[in-house]
Structure 1
Amino acid sequence: MFSGQLPSNTGTINRIIIGQDNFFLVHSLCSGGRTIALPESKDRELKISVSKSFLKTVSAYANYRTGSIIFGMADDGTIVGLPDIDKDCLRVEHMIHDSIDPRPRYTIEVDSRSGTMTLTVFEGPDKPYLYEGKAYIRNDSSTIEAGPLELKRLVLAGKHMSFDQLPADNQKMEFGSLKQRLHDRLGVDRFDRNTLRTLGLADADGQLVNAAALLSDSNPFPGIDIMRFGESTSEILERARIGGCSVLDQLDRTIGIAERNYTFEKVTATTRERSERLPLDALRETLADAIAHRAWDMLATITVAMHPDRVVVTSPGSLPSGIEREAYLAGGLSVPRNPTLATVMFRLGYIELFGSGVPRIREAYPEGELPPRFDVLDASIRVTLPTFGSHPATTVEEKAVLNALPTGMLMSRKQIANACDMSLSTTGRLLASLEQKNLVERSGRGRGTKYSRRA
């Protein structure tokens, strides 16, 4: 993380240039003398001067996520200013117009007193945005060229299409499983080409799309890989790979394996009751979401790791463009990566289309039980579902850290260390252990890292 001290007399931007429109207005940038934290990140880059290299980042922001480039600031956060800010402002405009195709939407904010200029590039609808014929993406705080897979996704996004809406390679499909579910769940007795069109599984030309292939009785897409472990990952008790059939059959067969291993019957003198060690509704929701929202253009399976104290489901592909981690965890926002497949699964009652997946999974756990954990990674999403009664043991020091963290409050490591009267290194070690035990959640990065106690 970098920080810079602004001169006490700064605080006014005297113009903002909006993309191609040259629209001017007065705007306040900052208060005089205030230190601003300026970490380079996925959506912020620092440049000491104007050079052609910034155009790659313009391509990346227009393609994937809105971001800003601050000119006149060194890598260490020192404000050095631009020697001729008016000239550099026009130069940036001309370089974008001459080098990026199609032209992205952006603003330029100029602070003439400090000599800094902030270029904000907005994610656009006309992807891919190319610089010298190449598309770029942000990889943490650096910019790299998009690979073939990312470029294909950008082309689809520019056409406002998804992978599941593309024509399937094989047009000979059988739908016995889907037909039976439509009959059982929705009372649909007639199943023909018009039914497929109504469900969006055939396009305007009558071609079956990838969503149809995923729901067909036989398909070439990656399936679900299941491993059941003993007390350690070196003790493999069971292995199953379910694939080559309808994704709905894959879901049901996976639930069947979990039911066999995480349910039991409690027998009394007069009754026989079924009991669950794992909330199967939560696992069913997790698997359905993984199937509906995973990246099907990745040749990777959904993995289900079954342990005595937890089940871990890993779905290929991170969050789709347009949804951030915080919105995903909060629920209420739905941006389906595979809208056709998701709509069919919604009609059949497998998922909801209201972003309620995470809240529903959490609600499956009664108060007092260890809650589920959701990890959003660069190329996957991992959901950990603890079994009932699987509270991990905590040491006296770990309990002190937990007691210093009120539920729902974010605290820095330094604040926690002061509250517990511990060193920063000891506090960091304890927080890492508690995070591993799913008792503490971390957000942010670098100096902005905060911790909270899981509810």
Structure 2
Amino acid sequence: MEKTFDEQLTSTKELQFTALEKELQDKLGIKKLTPDILKTLELLSPAGYNHAAELLADENDFSGVDLVRFGKSIDEIMERKTFRQRSLLLQFRGALKQYRKYYEYEQISGTTRKKVQLIPEVAFREALANALVHRAWDVSANILISMYADRIELRSPGGLPFGVTKDEYLRGYISVPRNPIIANLFFRLKYIEIFGTGILRIKNAYVDEFVQPSFQVLPNAVMITLPVLHAKTELSKDELLVLEQFETGELLSKRELVTLTGLSSSKLSRLLAKLVSDHRLTRIGAGRATKYQR
């Protein structure tokens, strides 16, 4: 059986694992990262280190995460951070720190402090871990994280692993880790839950919301869009009426929505375009076969 990229040996002989050792101390209670533990984690064999070990080392020669926060348009870059040639654990922490900086805040009401998440942290963590674990690391390209006022987009290099269809990926029916050694370590460190549940956990984070995450699967990339949560009161009466038709999870055409809502075809076209733009609905298909889904 052909080895996955993270299982293949690297020519690098000397690697330092300060970040990995600290994480294992904090999460698993080890005292010191020894060669025997590295072997147990499948990072080291008698033949030497593999690519997984190199990716988890403090320094390496691999791509990483390119994170940009935009202003009112893509021409207005407010901040840019690049996490590359360093441990995947440091990349994960660095990107998570930026998320918390811009999408979490404390709300004080009287003597009570409440943490408010504009985007569910569990959804961002799962999307980020999913990108790091399942991306094609033999492709010299960064994971791109674009932060906007109304959403976060995460683009991961490499399409789906061989043998996994788009439908199976979106429904969580099957899990084929592109990098099984890295996936197993992320599981041990509780960065990810049971294998194959990441997409379902992202969807569940939005289960009671009017905005929904979207997933785009291309031959050489996967993009996940996480919209900012909005209160129902921010929606117009007609927008609420349209969204209420999707509460059972059905796929509906514009013609069906005209019948269900009583709205005119032209008005419904404008409403659907806005709801898709706001990531409250997803457009599926084209032309007369176009349908919509929450």
Name the TM-score, length of structure 2 as normaliser.
0.86
Amino acid at match of 1:322: G
Partner Cα distance (1:269, 1:414) in 2 = 50
2:140 to 299, 303, 309: 299
**Residue 142 of structure 1 aligns with which residue?**
none
Please state if 1:453 is matched with 2:289: no
1:269-311 residue CA offsets vs partner (Å, 9 max, x unmatched):
4333332222222211111111001111111111111111211
Partner Cα distance (1:364, 1:332) in 2 = 18
**Residue 196 of structure 2 aligns with which residue?**
355
Amino acid at match of 2:117: E
**Residue 77 of structure 1 aligns with which residue?**
none
2:15 to 173, 180, 184: 173
1:182-227 residue CA offsets vs partner (Å, 9 max, x unmatched):
1111112242222222111124x43111111110000111111111
**Residue 39 of structure 2 aligns with which residue?**
197
**Residue 25 of structure 2 aligns with which residue?**
183
Conserved 8 A contact 1:266-1:275: yes
**Do the aligned partners of residues 428 and 276 (structure 1) sit closer, same or farther apart at CA in structure 2, a change above 3 Å counting?**
closer
Partner Cα distance (2:226, 2:205) in 1 = 10
Conserved 8 A contact 1:177-1:217: yes
Conserved 8 A contact 1:442-1:451: yes
Runs of 5+ consecutive residues of structure 2 not aligned to the other structure: none
What does 1:100-179 correspond to in 2, within 5 Å? 159-179=1-21
**Do the aligned partners of residues 185 and 445 (structure 1) sit closer, same or farther apart at CA in structure 2, a change above 3 Å counting?**
same
SS at match of 2:49: coil
What does 1:231-380 correspond to in 2, within 5 Å? 231-365=72-206, 367-380=208-221
Partner Cα distance (1:201, 1:164) in 2 = 9
Query: With CA pairs under 8 Å and 6+ residues apart, which has the higher RCO, 1 or 2?
Result: 2
SS at match of 2:191: coil
**Do the aligned partners of residues 418 and 239 (structure 1) sit closer, same or farther apart at CA in structure 2, a change above 3 Å counting?**
same
**Do the aligned partners of residues 405 and 288 (structure 1) sit closer, same or farther apart at CA in structure 2, a change above 3 Å counting?**
closer
The structural deviation recorded for 1:405 is: 5.6
Partner Cα distance (2:192, 2:2) in 1 = 23
Conserved 8 A contact 2:64-2:142: yes
Conserved 8 A contact 1:440-1:451: no
Task: Name the % identity.
Answer: 37
Partner Cα distance (1:233, 1:437) in 2 = 17
1:223 to 56, 61, 64: 64
Partner Cα distance (1:364, 1:377) in 2 = 24
Q: Which has the larger radius of gyration?
A: 1
1:100-157 residue CA offsets vs partner (Å, 9 max, x unmatched):
xxxxxxxxxxxxxxxxxxxxxxxxxxxxxxxxxxxxxxxxxxxxxxxxxxxxxxxxxx
The structural deviation recorded for 1:394 is: 6.5
**Do the aligned partners of residues 224 and 416 (structure 1) sit closer, same or farther apart at CA in structure 2, a change above 3 Å counting?**
same
Conserved 8 A contact 1:407-1:453: no
**Do the aligned partners of residues 269 and 352 (structure 1) sit closer, same or farther apart at CA in structure 2, a change above 3 Å counting?**
closer
**Do the aligned partners of residues 405 and 184 (structure 1) sit closer, same or farther apart at CA in structure 2, a change above 3 Å counting?**
closer
Name the TM-score, length of structure 1 as normaliser.
0.58
Partner Cα distance (2:70, 2:231) in 1 = 16
The structural deviation recorded for 1:170 is: 1.9
**Do the aligned partners of residues 162 and 388 (structure 1) sit closer, same or farther apart at CA in structure 2, a change above 3 Å counting?**
same
Conserved 8 A contact 1:228-1:239: yes
Partner Cα distance (1:360, 1:336) in 2 = 17
**Do the aligned partners of residues 212 and 390 (structure 1) sit closer, same or farther apart at CA in structure 2, a change above 3 Å counting?**
farther
Amino acid at match of 1:273: K
Partner Cα distance (2:247, 2:125) in 1 = 32
**Residue 62 of structure 1 aligns with which residue?**
none
Conserved 8 A contact 1:282-1:361: yes
Q: Which structure shows the bigger proportion of residues in helix conformation?
A: 2
**Do the aligned partners of residues 304 and 394 (structure 1) sit closer, same or farther apart at CA in structure 2, a change above 3 Å counting?**
farther
Partner Cα distance (1:166, 1:445) in 2 = 43
**Do the aligned partners of residues 269 and 427 (structure 1) sit closer, same or farther apart at CA in structure 2, a change above 3 Å counting?**
closer
Partner Cα distance (1:390, 1:229) in 2 = 23
What does 1:53-132 correspond to in 2, within 5 Å? none
Partner Cα distance (2:31, 2:240) in 1 = 59
Runs of 5+ consecutive residues of structure 1 not aligned to the other structure: 1-158
Conserved 8 A contact 2:70-2:77: yes
- Alignment coverage as a number of residue pairs: 292
The structural deviation recorded for 1:375 is: 1.6
Amino acid at match of 2:84: G
